[in-house]
Amino acid sequence: MQAFNKRNDSIDFDRVVSLNNGVWWVGFQDKESGLRCNPYLIIEGDEAVLLDGGSRPDFPVVMMKILETGLDPHKISALIYDHYDPDLCGSIPNLEDMIENPELKLVTSGFSQMFIRHYGTRSQFFNIADMGYKFTFKTGRQLEFVTIPYCHNRGSYVVFDPQSKILFSGDMFGTYEKVWTLFYGFPDECSSAGSCVECQNDKSFCRLPGYLDFHRKLMPSSKAVHFALKKLKGIPFEMVASQHGSILDRSSVDVLIKELESCNDIGIDQVQPEE
Ligand SMILES: [Fe+2]
Ligand SMILES: [Fe+2]
């Protein structure tokens, strides 16, 4: 994991960052906000897709980053949204103006579509179920969609790219906190430390509580999270690129999965009856 953290050393966060296999991080460092948003761009052959494109105020920076890759925005063939919140969907009309592609696809679940159209979208919707839970580029490269109902919306799903081995997880495995690096790996000791209720290595600062708190507040119930974890564990990803927080390596996600599996106070499960 230390090697994974080292990746931050050579990065200028004000520039677009290449992950691998045509995948780019087109988000930005926002020192003021604890809730930073991470849109991702996948360029494949002469087309590209944008995942969770970002909010309206974030649009100028995200579009500048997209242009920095050298991509002609008209080549973006699809905008993919795992749910309908404004932090990822707010800029859809701005993106549509810049992309100016009459064939542009808005890819999401049927449930999210009902709400996303209220952003004033003009492009045609494509339902992930109708697409067989796959997006296929012209080259044949495929992205796989895996549903995680109620994590945190009814129609939520994650996107797995078998070529880059990146799992784009939306709000799952996200966090909000002001301490941030683009790449993050929990310290090596965490993977074998057992329960983290009390740190067995006497670490004074740990980012794990921030991650757990995010899930406790953003996700509706322990049942929903545990159901999602069962599906996500089996996916052969090597990295998780979530919509909030840092990009995590597989072993860090495994630490997080283990902790979340033993959390029974997520969402409604932690609400006490009013006295
Ligand atoms: Fe959300
Ligand atoms: Fe979000």
Task: Report the relative pairing of strands 166-170 and 142-147 from DSSP bridges.
Answer: unpaired
How far is it, in rounded angstroms, from Cα 215 to Cα 213? 5
What values do phi and psi take at 127, rounded to 5? -85, 130
How far is it, in rounded angstroms, from Cα 27 to Cα 182? 10
- Which residue type, as a one-letter code, is found at position 152? H
% of residues, the chain, pLDDT over 90 = 77
Long-range contacts of 117-122 (CB under 8 A, 24+ apart): 119/86, 119/89, 119/90, 119/92, 119/93, 120/92, 120/93, 121/92, 121/93, 121/96, 122/93, 122/96
Mean pLDDT (whole number) for 81-99: 97
Q: What is the pLDDT of residue 186?
A: 83
- Which residue type, as a one-letter code, is found at position 111? F
Mean pLDDT (whole number) for 224-247: 97
Mean pLDDT (whole number) for 126-141: 98
Q: What is the pLDDT of residue 193?
A: 59
Q: What is the pLDDT of residue 235?
A: 98
> Rounded to two decimals, what is the model's pTM?
0.94
pLDDT beyond 60 at 275: no
Ligand number with the minimum distance to the CA of 155 = 1
Mean pLDDT (whole number) for 39-58: 96
Q: What is the pLDDT of residue 195?
A: 62
**Ion ligand 2: residue ranges with CB closer than 5 A:** 87, 171, 243
120 Cα: distance to centroid of ligand 2 (angstroms): 20
201 Cα: distance to centroid of ligand 2 (angstroms): 32
110 Cα: distance to centroid of ligand 1 (angstroms): 16
244 Cα: distance to centroid of ligand 1 (angstroms): 9
Q: What is the pLDDT of residue 111?
A: 96
Reported confidence tier of residue 197, pLDDT bands at 50, 70, 90: low
One CATH from 3.60.130.10, 3.60.15.10, 1.10.3720.10, 3.40.190.10 for 2-267? 3.60.15.10
Residue with tokens 């992930």: 128
217 Cα: distance to centroid of ligand 2 (angstroms): 12
Range of lowest pLDDT (14-28, 47-61, 69-83, 167-181): 167-181
Mean pLDDT (whole number) for 86-98: 97
The tens digit of pLDDT for each residue in 94-104 reads 999 999 999 99
153 Cα: distance to centroid of ligand 2 (angstroms): 10
Domain ranges of the chain: 2-267
Give the range with max mean pLDDT: 6-10, 31-35, 67-71. 67-71
pLDDT beyond 70 at 1: no
Q: What is the pLDDT of residue 35?
A: 75
pLDDT beyond 80 at 143: yes
Reported confidence tier of residue 3, pLDDT bands at 50, 70, 90: confident
| Two structure tokens written together for 178 | 């002001």
> Higher model confidence: residue 33 or residue 144?
144
pLDDT beyond 80 at 210: yes
225 Cα: distance to centroid of ligand 1 (angstroms): 14
